[in-house]
Every structure is written in C-alpha cells, then in structure tokens.
Amino acid sequence: MKFDILTLFPGMFSGPFDESIIKRAKDKQLIDISLHNIRDWATDRHQTADDSPYGGGAGMVMKAAPLAASIESIKSLNPLSTILLTSPHGRRLTHSVAMELAVKPGLIIVCGRYEGIDERIRLIYAEDDISLGDFVLSGGEIAAMAIVDSVTRLIPGALGSSESAESDSFGDGLLEYPHFTRPPEFKGLTVPEALLSGNHELIRKWRRKESLRKTRTLRPDLLSKAILTREDRKMLSEIEQENPHAM
C-alpha cells in the first residue's frame, strides 16, 4: 500500500509514523509512506500556499494552484492511487470505510488547513472525503494519521497476529470484549473465572457475551446493524434479564 500525504506541516508525522505498528509495516515493506510539502509547488519566492477568502471573513484559504500542482505531480507517479481529502464534510471514518480503503493500491491524502481548501480542488480532484467526526481540528494531519493507522492494521502481515484486527472493536460490528492480564487479583478486583478455566469454548462464550454486553451498554445503536446469530440473541436475552435497565 502506497500512502502519499500532501501537507503544509510534514514534521508533524515524524513521531507517529516512526513507532509501533506503522514502523514495523514500513520495515516489512508492506506500506510506503511519502510526505510532500505543498509549499514546494508554490511559485512565488515566499512559497505562499494560502490567501484571504473571496467575500471576506476570518481566516485564510489554501490556494488552488499549489494544491493542484502537487496533486497532479503525485498522481502522475501513482496513477492508481485514490485522491482523498480530509474534511469535516466527508463521510465518517469507520471500520468498514477503513476496510474499503485498505484494498486500494494507494491513497493520496490531502490535508486541509486554516479555513479549508479552495472548493475548486474538491470539485476537480477529490475522489473521496473523510472526516474523523463532528469536531474541529487545526488541520487534516491528525486525520491523515488516523487513516494511515486504521488502514495499515488491516493489511495482511501488519499485525503480529492475523486474528488481532478481526477481534478488534467494530471488526464484527460490536465493541470488543474486556481484556485482563497478570496478576489474577488487583486492588480487590479479580479476573473472571471463565478466563482462568483453560476451557476454550467457555472462554469463547464469555468473550462473546461480554462483547454483546459492552455494546448494549455503551453503543446500543451498533446492535441494530450487527449480524447476530441465534446464540447472540440468546445471550442478549440473558443480559437483559440480568440487568434490564442497563441501556
């Protein structure tokens, strides 16, 4: 997977992309990340990449010409890559969206800044728009990091275990079950007996039920979209009887 990130602040990525899963994926050559400073395509001596908006108002807008030149240059090198804008107008980044992006040959991620980008860039070049949620960030760099991280986890071989991504929260439409490790007792709280039993079927059932319980309690909206088995529905009925008001 090839990631090309167009940004005014390439230095923001040095920490997150040089640690943990992303670093290992790069070392394995499973992903290739290139950072491109949009100012490099500005033609004036000050490398100006923003200007005041037509019609007045606060803030600055990223100029069309440097953005267009940078996008066209990178796209010519990676013609199969999808041009993606980080934008509050975009569709929400979810697990299913990350899965969709993970099968693409490459992503050209354009990081917005200031009041946003010249709308003509969106109309001419954008093939997708992605938002992290209904809140405001200083720019698209953090969103780009989240996109790269969520997509990289889904690339075969990026994680230590192929099961890790599948059992993550949202992997099957539900929140993930609780996790415990040593010691078996901590500040009066003990590890559930099922996890200490060594019985794999008992452990599987406990994890599934707790996944359903957590989803029902914290994100009940997910249950309406999840594919539930007969066993799942039986477990939900038991959870309802155990604590009918926990919604």
Q: So which residues are the catalytic ones?
A: 88, 115, 153, 168
What is the C-alpha to C-alpha distance for residues 97 and 110, in angstroms, rounded to an integer?
A: 17
Type of residue found at 247: M
DSSP 69-112: HHHHHHHHH-TTSEEEEEEEEEEE--HHHHHHHHTSSEEEEEEP
Structure tokens at 32: 């290739």
14-to-4, 50, 181 alpha-carbon distances in Å:
14, 24, 32
Q: Give the CA distances from residue 223 to residues 84, 215, 226, in Å, rounded to whole numbers and listed in that order.
A: 30, 7, 5
Q: What are 173's two structure tokens?
A: 């439409």
CB 184 within 8 A of CB 196: yes
